[in-house]
Amino acid sequence: MLHFLNKFTVLILMLYSANYCYAQSQTGKVVDEDKNPINAVQIKFDNDSTFITKEDGLFLIDKKDIKEIDIYKENYKNIIISFDDLKKQKFVVMLKKAKTNSLEEVVLKAKDPISEKFSVSKLSKLDIYTNPSSKGDPLLAITSLPSSTNTNETANPTLRGGEADRSRVILNGVPINNPVRNSQDNGLGSFSLFNTEFIHKQYVYASNPPLTYGNSSAGIVEIETIRKLDNNSTKLTFNLSNMGFFVSKKIKGNFIQFYGNKQFSDAFILLNKNSVPNLKDFRSNDFGLNLRVNINKKVYWNSYNYFVDESILTNNFQYNFSGESKGSQDRFLTVNNFDFIINKSKLRVANLLDYSDKKYSYGVINSKSKSLQIFTSIDYKLMFNKSFSIQTGSNFSLTNYNYDEIKPVYYFSLNENAPTYLSSLRIKNNYIESYLYANWEMTSKLGFSTGVRTNVPIDNQREYLSYQASTHFDLNNKNRMIISAGKYHSYSTPNYINHTINLLNSNQIALDYYYSNKKFDLTSAIYYKNDSGDFTYSQTQFYQRIKSFGWEVSTSFNINKKLSFLFSNTFLNQKLKIDSEYFNGNSSFNYFIKARFSYSNMRLLNVSLSLSSRPGNYYTPVVSSIYNNDALNYQPFFSSNINDNQLNEYNKLDFVANKIVTINKKNLLIPYLSIQNILNKNNQSYIYYNANYTIQNIYNFQKRIVYFGMQYTF
């Protein structure tokens, strides 16, 4: 939550894409060829104001000074219509489907049609900005989904009970390891590396993800950057802990987006000091740039670049030790992809260069680490016809880790007099994979897809084969079912606690059900996962197998044009296997309730309220201790019954509000306010102890956090 900062600065934009034209207004409607309303259509007026339709397909027109209207929806033909012609059509616009051989529809990876074949949730920019729990961050927004089983208030995707390191975030076709900032010693972080303004669509595959991507044995988050820039704009942001700018500019059929932020903690900590007593300081400077060059109608190049220089200082507690924890990181990554359209096929060549330099100190620990990842992939998709397509490709990944550290001889002894040793370690993990994926739409209501992915063993690696199958069946226009199953493989990512790289695998099966009408949506899923490999949660927790059985249900409905409500609940029975015994899993709970209430009134105010409630996390307590003369500290002995104790119930209520102030036709001022944990609950995070382990202490998550700011757009 440390980088509440720049992420909430963009939260304001939740309404920019809604509308701000009410005075002297006329209601219009967008429908398809069957005269059904179309949602998420972009309506752009010649005064540069913008409206996004909702489920009813309606939009508002400020009749004053409007002469021409640009109507755009992905996968539909773009329409530019005059106000007079629209009036003749009684303000009803019909959009026709675009041809499937266009640049924007012949796609390599999973786009909108894939939602019919896999268990996937789609998050738009508006979805992210209107979510009080997201803080404007695309990965934090995932925590509100019923498939998210994240219980540690971090940005790392944790899907359907799978460990965070088993899921992968894919940006423009390449995997981003450790896609977070403010990383802890276990690799988890408070915010993602991504700016929501760059995002075109974000897809969350909760389980059984398509094997067009590899190195995942849980879920996948697929992010594609913006393909088309609608207008030039400059945004200046000022808030409690951040000053920043964001510029979007068209350049002769191409476009560039870039931003910068300077973050500081003084005012944030001063205002919230009672809620963040262990947060001492955080600073960062980050810069991002996204460039898209359309070489011609069938070839384009996209380059996404990001740099961050950050540091953080906190009080930390482990075992019986408390002290300052210092962390810093310099990181640069660049993702470049070339896309070529060839008749009814598409070829993509993608490349990643990701370099980081980290420092971490706590007690006697002093760690310096550097990592370098180079990833290259080539993918080819061929659409034989509207019903059948195949996709194939290969990728090569090279990853190096260098560690130079001072570490404690005894993991539990961190005080300044504790014995230490020097460690220098060089780790590499290179792999080559190839895949084949096919999809067959047998009828308009029934489809089947399957895929295989295997590695080319190098450096004495084990050979493995991943495979999957999925079928979807539309009972009618409102009811749909998906059955999917498969076996998946991934490599673990080193962190401070565990430097090893292990091959992990997972067997998964899931049944998903979807119901939808104009005002009401219902989704439900039941799934089973059998994960194996080496699991290292801490210096004392090691597992070989995790079995998870889960059920989730969610519903959303629009009460009226201004009010909407979402509700979900998840049950997850998870068991850890150690030797021949099974114990409660870290992500095991009888309920995990999430709810959100939103009120949107362009003339007045826009507010959202979100609730999260679940049982407390399990933990393994210390049952005794003995003074270890060599360690110069007490040595703890943990219960043999793993995870047999539980923290108190977790409850969190969040609030966000903003208002659009129109200064003139092109200038907007948007003030906003966010309050996290409104009820100021003491939600328990973990246990630590006094010197001889006779007294348990509770470390809590952050309490009530107040954050505010404004953005000026021109």
596-625 as b/e: b if 16+ CB within 10 A? bbbebebeeebbbbbbbebbbbbbbebeeb
Distances (CA, A) of 240 to 12, 269, 700: 14, 9, 23
pLDDT at 108: 47
Rg (CA), the chain: 26
**Cα 152 to Cα 414: distance, rounded to the nearest angstrom:** 24
d(CA 156, CA 145): 13
Q: Are 586 and 643 in contact (CB under 8 A)?
A: yes
DSSP 444-505: SSEEEEEEEEEE---TTPPP-EEEEEEEEEESSSSEEEEEEEEEEEEE----SS-----EEE
Please, which pLDDT band fits residue 185 given cuts at 50, 70 and 90? low
Residues forming beta bridges with residue 658, ordered by sequence position: 606, 672
Q: How far apart are the first and last CA of the chain?
A: 29
Residue listed under structure tokens 């924890």: 325
Residue 164 above 90 pLDDT?
Answer: no
Q: Is the pLDDT of residue 115 over 90?
A: no
Locate 205 and state its tokens: 């595959």
Three-class secondary structure of residue 104 per DSSP: coil
The reported pLDDT for the residue numbered 189 is 63
Does position 450 have pLDDT exceeding 70, yes or no? yes
Cβ atoms of 401 and 410 within 8 Å: the answer is no
- CA-to-CA distance for 265 and 522, rounded, in angstroms? 42
Q: Residue 343, exposed/middle/buried by CB under 10 A (0-12, 13-18, 19+)?
A: exposed
> pLDDT-derived band of residue 484, with 50, 70 and 90 as boundaries?
very high
What confidence tens digit (pLDDT) does each residue in 4-63 have?
334 433 333 333 333 333 334 577 888 887 777 887 787 877 655 667 776 677 877 765
Domains, the chain: 5-94 (2.60.40), 110-713 (2.40.170.20)
Cβ neighbours of residue 315 under 8 Å, at least 6 residues apart? 277, 278, 280, 322, 323, 324, 325
Alpha-carbon gap, residue 100 to 200, rounded angstroms: 19
Per the document, the length of the chain is 714
Tens-digit pLDDT profile for residues 261-282: 999 999 999 999 999 999 999 9
Place of tokens 């009010």: 563
pLDDT digits (tens, 9 = 90+) for 551-588: 999 999 888 888 889 999 999 999 998 888 889 988 89
- Percent of the chain's residues with pLDDT above 90: 59
The answer to whether 464 and 455 are in contact (CB under 8 A) is yes
| More reliable by pLDDT, 95 or 553 | 553
pLDDT of 101 higher than 80: no
Q: Which three-class secondary structure string do you get for 423-442? A: EEEEEEEEEEEEEEEEEEEC
C-alpha closest to that of 169 among 127, 135, 137, 132: 137
Whether 378 and 435 have beta carbons less than 8 Å apart is answered as no
pLDDT in tens, 244-257: 999 999 998 899 99
Q: Which amino acid belongs to residue 574? A: Q
Tell me how far apart the alpha carbons of residues 477 and 479 are, in angstroms, rounded to a whole number.
6
Strands (E) in 615-667, as ranges, are 618-619, 622-628, 633-638, 645-646, 650-658, 661-662
pLDDT of residue 55: 61
User: What share of the chain has pLDDT > 70, as a percent?
Assistant: 89
What is the pLDDT at residue 97? 75
Residue 105, pLDDT score: 41
313 burial via Cβ count (<10 Å: 0-12, 13-18, 19+):
middle
Nearest to 319 by CA among 78, 560, 89, 540: 540
Structure tokens at 130: 């209107």
pTM over 0.85: no
Q: Rounded to an integer, what distance in angstroms lies between the CA atom of residue 125 and that of residue 199?
A: 7
Handedness of CA 540, 697, 143, 3 (dihedral sign): negative
Query: Which of 36-45, 91-100, 325-334, 610-619 shows the lowest mean pLDDT across its residues?
Result: 91-100
pLDDT tens digits for 678-702? 999 999 999 999 999 999 999 999 9
Strand partners, 454: 434, 465
Q: How far apart are alpha carbons 75 and 31 in whole angstroms? A: 14
**pLDDT reported for residue 49:** 61
Give the residue-averaged pLDDT of 325-341.
95
CA 211 from chain centre, in angstroms, equals 19
Distance between CA atoms of residues 710 and 714, nearest Å: 13
- pLDDT score at 217: 92
Give the residue, 614 or 53, on which the prediction is more confident. Answer: 614
Residues with Cβ within 8 Å of residue 353, at least 6 apart in sequence: 333, 334, 373, 374
Q: Indicate the pLDDT class of residue 104, thresholds 50, 70 and 90.
A: very low
Taking the CA of residue 374 as centre, how many other CA atoms within 13 Å lie in the half-sphere pointing to its CB? 4
For residue 197, pLDDT over 60 is answered with yes
Does position 103 have pLDDT exceeding 60, yes or no?
no
Spatial CA neighbour of 203 closest among 179, 223, 227, 180: 223
Beta pairing, strands 520-538 & 541-558: antiparallel
Q: Is the pLDDT of residue 539 over 70?
A: no
Question: So what's the pLDDT on residue 4?
Answer: 38
In 3D space, the residue among 312, 293, 311 whose CA is nearest the CA of residue 302 turns out to be: 293
| Nearest CA-CA partner of 249 in 260, 234, 259, 261 | 234
Which whole number is the average pLDDT over 175-198? Answer: 77
**Which residues have CB under 8 Å from 713's CB, separation 6+?**
16, 233, 234, 235, 667, 668, 669, 670
The encoded tokens of residue 487 equal 């076996």
- Please give the pLDDT value at position 608: 92
